[in-house]
Amino acid sequence: MDSGHIATGRAEAPDVDARDGEDRGADSRDADRRDPDSRSRTGDDVRTGDGALVGPPGRAAVRRLAARVRPPLPALGVLLILADVVDLLPHGGLAGFVVLVAFGLLDRVRPPAAPLRVVESPVLGPWRALNSPTTKVPSHGVHSLGQTYAIDLAFDPPDGGRPEFGSGRQWRRPEEHPAFGRPLLSPVEGTVVRVHQRRRDHRARSGGWSVLYLLVVEGFVRQVGGTRWLVGNHVVVRTDDGAHAALAHLRRGSVRVRPGERVTTGQQLAECGNSGNSSEPHLHVQLCDSPRLAAAGGLPMAFRGAATDGSDGLPADGELLDVRADAGHS
């Protein structure tokens, strides 16, 4: 796996014509596509001699601490509120509310700046990008679970086999989606450090009411339940340089590797499923700094040759990632 250098922007003098402004806008969008972290960095981040981008040590330590302490807070907050309801703990409701607010605030703390890593695509064929860091950072609206720069991919064949949202039933069987059962590949070379594949593949949430139920009821219950309830079946591979590639929402029973096993780039790890907090069968893939996703911080990544112009990057929301089998994995 290669490590890429992060592109930086430079402010231009204001006395330019409109055409120059358009060119710079296009250049900025291209830089964001290659380096999704470029939109979220601050002037305090600095580049080291080898090109890596890092922040002040003290601030980086605080950001890592935020990621490490927030995992138990949702369950603790709910328990405190329930203890107050049943008169076991006076003022427990207020304490629980404060804990939940603290979790929400910590969830907004972004991870320390890190160099962009270029990995291979974990899928072959046409997959539609959803919740991409090319479009926004954090891609999923929060920094928890190490998903700051995560991307969701849904298989979208040219024959239109992917059901359109809002058409048909509110709750579809996962087998009705063409992504279900598709092979998923390791984007990196490394060692498998975590495997979970006991969660069931539930029905897709295919309409407004079912998605509302997923977000309000199921999402809250899974948040309290913890990582495995949220990410579902998953595999985490540790690279030789200490990064961790996580593939989530896998099909139950489809994982082909075990913890401690060495895997190569492009090796099949599992099949696409619909486990965990998922509205339809799709792949959630990310890089992070810890195998324990609950306490992980996200790391920026790009797929080799995956940008629309053929450079390394990630497709934006709604764009198609179409990697052919004959392209190979290096």
Q: Same structural domain for residues 195 and 90?
A: no
61 in a structural domain: no
What are 10-37's pLDDT values in tens digits? Answer: 233 333 333 333 343 444 445 455 455 5
Same domain, 86 and 156: no
pLDDT, residue 252, reads 95
pLDDT score for 16: 33
Query: If pLDDT is split at 50, 70 and 90, which confidence band does 132 have?
Result: very high
278 and 150 housed in the same domain: yes
When divided into structural domains, the chain yields a total of: 2
Contacts of 136 (CB under 8 A, 6+ apart): none
The predicted pLDDT at position 297 comes to 92
The CATH number that applies at residue 122 is: 2.70.70.10
Is 80 exceeded by the pLDDT of residue 206? Answer: no
Helix (H, G, I), strand (E, B) or coil at 102: helix
> Helix axis angle, 92-106 relative to 73-85, nearest 10°?
160
pLDDT for position 278? 85
Beta bridge partners of 212: none
Flag whether 320 is in a domain: yes
> Is residue 214 scored above 80 in pLDDT?
no
Structural domain includes residue 31:
no
Q: Distances in Å between the alpha carbon of 55 and those of 63, 111, 171, 244, 259?
A: 10, 10, 45, 20, 33
Residues 243 and 96 in one domain: no
pLDDT greater at residue 179 or residue 53? 179
| pLDDT mean over 97-107 | 82
Both 217 and 278 in one domain: the answer is: yes
- Classify residue 39: in a domain, yes or no: no
Tell me, what DSSP letter sits at residue 12? P
Q: Examine the pLDDT at 115 and tell me if it is beyond 90.
A: yes
Residue 21 or 63, more confident: 63
Establish if 121 belongs to a structural domain.
yes
Ranges 2-16, 25-39, 162-176: which has the least confidence? 2-16
Most confident of 41-45, 73-77, 220-224: 73-77
Residue that terminates a domain, selected from 106, 128, 161 = 106
- In this structure, what DSSP letter does residue 320 have? E
Average pLDDT over residues 248-261: 97
Asked whether residue 91 falls in the same domain as residue 224, the answer is no
Q: Is the pLDDT of residue 1 over 50?
A: no
So what's the pLDDT on residue 270?
A: 98
C-alpha span between 178 and 95 (Å, rounded): 46
Same domain, 266 and 316: yes
Flag whether 211 is in a domain.
yes
Phi, psi dihedral angles at 239 (to 5 degrees) = -85, 170
Q: Model confidence over 281-312: pLDDT tens digits?
A: 999 999 999 999 988 999 999 999 988 788 89
Q: Do the domain assignments include residue 29?
A: no
Residue 152 in contact with residue 213, Cβ under 8 Å? Answer: no
98 and 133 in a single domain? The answer is no
Shared domain check, 294 and 147: yes
What pLDDT score does 5 carry? 28
pLDDT of residue 75: 73
pLDDT, residue 220, reads 64
Q: Is residue 18 part of a domain?
A: no
Q: Are 89 and 126 contained in the same domain?
A: no
Q: For all residues of the chain together, what is the average pLDDT? A: 78
Q: Domain residues for 231?
A: 117-327
Q: Burial, 188: exposed, middle or buried (Cβ in 10 Å; 0-12, 13-18, 19+)?
A: buried
Q: Is 303 helix (H, G, I), strand (E, B) or coil?
A: strand
Contact present, 285 and 151 (Cβ < 8 Å): yes
Q: Please enumerate in sequence order all residues whose Cβ is within 8 A of that of 140, keeping only pairs 6 or more positions apart, or say none.
A: 131, 147, 150
Shared domain check, 196 and 277: yes
Using left for φ > 0, alpha for ψ between -120 and 50, and beta otherwise, residue 310 falls in left
262's tokens = 């060495």
Q: Mean pLDDT lowest for which of 73-82, 150-159, 196-205?
A: 73-82
Strand order in the sheet with 117-119: 2-3, 117-119, 301-303
Are residues 270 and 314 located together in one domain of the fold? yes
The SS3 of residue 250 is strand
